[in-house]
Structure 1
Amino acid sequence: MGDTRQMHYCLIDTDLGWFGLAWSPHGITRAYLPGDPVHSLRERFDRFASETAHWPAFIDEARQLILGYARGEAVCFDTLPLDLSAVSDFHRRVYADILQLGRGETTTYGEIARRLGDVGLSRAVGQAMGSNPIPLIIPCHRVLASGGKTGGFSAPGGGTSKMRMLALEGYEDPQAAQATFDF
């Protein structure tokens, strides 16, 4: 993640709870999704970055987009610079693939593996999702298991949080719709 003396973070109080962002001079390096108390977020970030109320323009833009997202607005994170220098080449390829997904659009671990050239990489794709350092902005919540099942989600709240995020984006879970008809 580069020189920790150049790493900073800020916390954002959203309609969904406290969200955290860390950055280097090159871009966003880490995000934490809502679900943990604010003091826990600070403890996590304090290990590798310093909190600041002075941030670059791209963090101001990210803050506004995250606040809008939490209110259910259609936002796009495409213009934000990401610093993935601490991430493996394979994980960067996986993240580049899912960055192509639009709001409410989903894919599966297997489809990503196929697009990367080997369906046998599905488990490795899942590991990349589980270690995504910038969830929401790198939309790992849009990746489902085969058959449209939720699959894992390492953020607080697990699969429930994943489905809540997808619902904010207008995604309708076909399994949940079937369950409402009780058949």
Structure 2
Amino acid sequence: MAALGYCVFDTAIGACGIAWGEGAIVTCQLPERDREGTARRMLRRHPDVPQAEPPEWVARVVARVQALLAGAKDDLADVPLDMQGEPDFNRRVYEVARAIAPGRTLTYGEVAQRIGEPGSARAVGQALGHNPFAPIVPCHRVLGAGNTGVGFSATGGVDTKLKMLEIERAQLGAHPGLFD
């Protein structure tokens, strides 16, 4: 699905970007160093797509992302995402990541186990590094072995990941019944 428009919006951690298509989010992006950097990155991803006022359904998603990044407990799991261009492995990783509740975490190895591919923790990290839907697909909730804050490709790196987890008042590890 091609993007129809994009916008940049303010959050508690900086200016994020979002692009939408017909009924689904095509991209959601964490902040760059400044608002202009976020807009430039959105244009690189979607060079022929105009910056526009979001339709009402996208504005509701934006408000929910803003609330999440301010500490609201919204998993955004019902937000429609266009994953047509994503490899099957990545889709499976994103599904597991989307099931991690705000304030909870899993390790790359635990995600690999959940998708039925134990031993693929590094590939899980690579898939999350290419996540075009952050924070709707909450890659910040996936940590290194021993619950270490490694491997975050957003601007600010691990500091951004840890800041997002702090905002969520994260408790390390899945709570009982999360994936049962």
| Aligned residue pair count | 170
Please say if 1:22 is aligned against 2:34.
no
1:56-95 pair list within 5 angstroms: 56-95=55-94
Moved more, 122-131 or 27-36: 27-36
- State the distance in 1 between where 2:150 and 2:33 align: 21
Please say if 1:163 is aligned against 2:162.
yes
Structure 2 counterpart SS, 1:147: coil
- State the distance in 1 between where 2:106 and 2:165 align: 12
- TM (normalized to structure 2)? 0.87
Give per-residue Cα distances to partners, 1:36-78, cap 9 Å, x unaligned: 211222222223121101x233311111112212322222312
Would you say the 8 A contact 1:58–1:80 is kept in 2?
Answer: no
Structure 2 counterpart SS, 1:13: strand
Distance 1:107 1:132, change over 3 A: same
Structure 2 counterpart SS, 1:146: coil
- State the distance in 2 between where 1:103 and 1:15 align: 16
Give the equivalent residue in structure 1 for 2:52.
Answer: 52
Name the amino acid aligned to 1:87: E
Give the equivalent residue in structure 2 for 1:149.
Answer: 148
Q: What's the C-alpha RMSD, in Å, of the aligned pairs?
A: 1.8
- State the distance in 2 between where 1:144 and 1:41 align: 25
- State the distance in 2 between where 1:169 and 1:125 align: 22
Would you say the 8 A contact 1:104–1:169 is kept in 2?
Answer: yes
- State the distance in 2 between where 1:68 and 1:114 align: 31
Give the equivalent residue in structure 2 for 1:101.
Answer: 100
Where structure 1 has 5 or more consecutive residues not aligned to the other structure, the ranges are: 174-183
* Identity of matched residues, %: 36
- TM (normalized to structure 1)? 0.86
Shift of 1:118: 2.4
Shift of 1:172: 5.0
Structure 2 counterpart SS, 1:20: strand
Where structure 2 has 5 or more consecutive residues not aligned to the other structure, the ranges are: 173-180
Would you say the 8 A contact 1:153–1:159 is kept in 2?
Answer: yes
